[in-house]
Amino acid sequence: MIKIPSVTELAKAGVHLGHRTTKRHPNMDPYIYGIKNTIHVIDLEKTTEELTKALQFIIEKISEGATILFVGTKAPAKDIVKTQAEKLKVPYVVERWLGGTLTNFQTIIKLIEKFNKMVSDKEGEALEKYTKKERHELDKELHRLEIMVGGIRTLTKKPDLLYIIDIGNEKTAIRETRRLNIPVVGVVDTNANPELVNWPIPANDDAIKSIELITKLVAEAIEEGRKKTKIKEKGETKEKQEKKITTKKDKK
């Protein structure tokens, strides 16, 4: 089971610190506790509630075999998202969101295939037949593609859900998920609209400690979901074996 941090632990990570009152989004009012020095303070009891719901949703979806895509292109989130995503071997976007990543997925798949082939060619020394100048141009193209689709190179179909840090910063991604009805778990600060995502987690989306804490919890939820999948698969395998034994006995 995932241990949800206490209100004190959340506060130590700065999860409660929102934006200036002038940047407040009215739909975040239910999640705002008060004001301190012109800064909105997020209600950490509400954060705990929404965080628990979001993590449970992730566990359930992952246990069903769902694919999750991590998105965090703002500076404080990039390294955290990339580190956790690579550790879990899940796709991620930490550079600019490529318009059409979801809504024009067939084009993205072609870019992914091209990138994967170029990586394979380079690793297999298939580029040795080219001149030094041609190899330099191919390296430049490879680098360009890596920035564009390197983090999502394992995707073969559209993801089943997204985890997004700062939904206000990822407007294009949010528009695409809403158009395709792909559920989103999103870290939502006081300046964003929580109604744009299915599972909003009211929290500071600028502080590294806050982003790291929540992303690690999301990672734990994914691992928990995978454990459930393995248990389920073992149960199904055992059931099949028992059926085979029963069938053999019946034939005798």
CATH number of the structural domain spanning residue 48: 3.40.50.10490
R_g (Cα) of the chain, nearest Å: 22
In this structure, the answer to whether residues 234 and 131 fall within a common structural domain is: no
Q: Which among 136, 156, 176 is the end of a domain?
A: 156
**Token couple for 6:** 């206490």
In a domain, 1, yes or no: no
pLDDT digits (tens, 9 = 90+) for 124-158: 776 677 778 887 888 899 999 999 999 999 999 99
**Token couple for 42:** 């997020």
Structural domain of 135 = 104-156
Q: How far apart are CA 92 and CA 83, in angstroms?
A: 10
Q: DSSP letter string over 60-98?
A: HHHHTT--EEEE--SHHHHHHHHHHHHHHT--EE-S---
In a domain, 97, yes or no: yes
What pLDDT does 135 receive?
Answer: 77
Q: How far apart are CA 45 and CA 5, in angstroms?
A: 11
What pLDDT does 249 receive?
Answer: 58
Q: Which among 112, 141, 156 is the end of a domain?
A: 156
pLDDT digits (tens, 9 = 90+) for 170-198: 999 999 999 999 999 999 999 999 999 99
What pLDDT does 138 receive?
Answer: 82
In this structure, the answer to whether residues 193 and 219 fall within a common structural domain is: yes
In this structure, the answer to whether residues 35 and 80 fall within a common structural domain is: yes
Q: What is the count of structural domains for the chain? A: 2
Mark the ranges of the chain whose per-residue pLDDT is less than 70.
Answer: 126-127, 232, 234-252
pTM above 0.75? yes
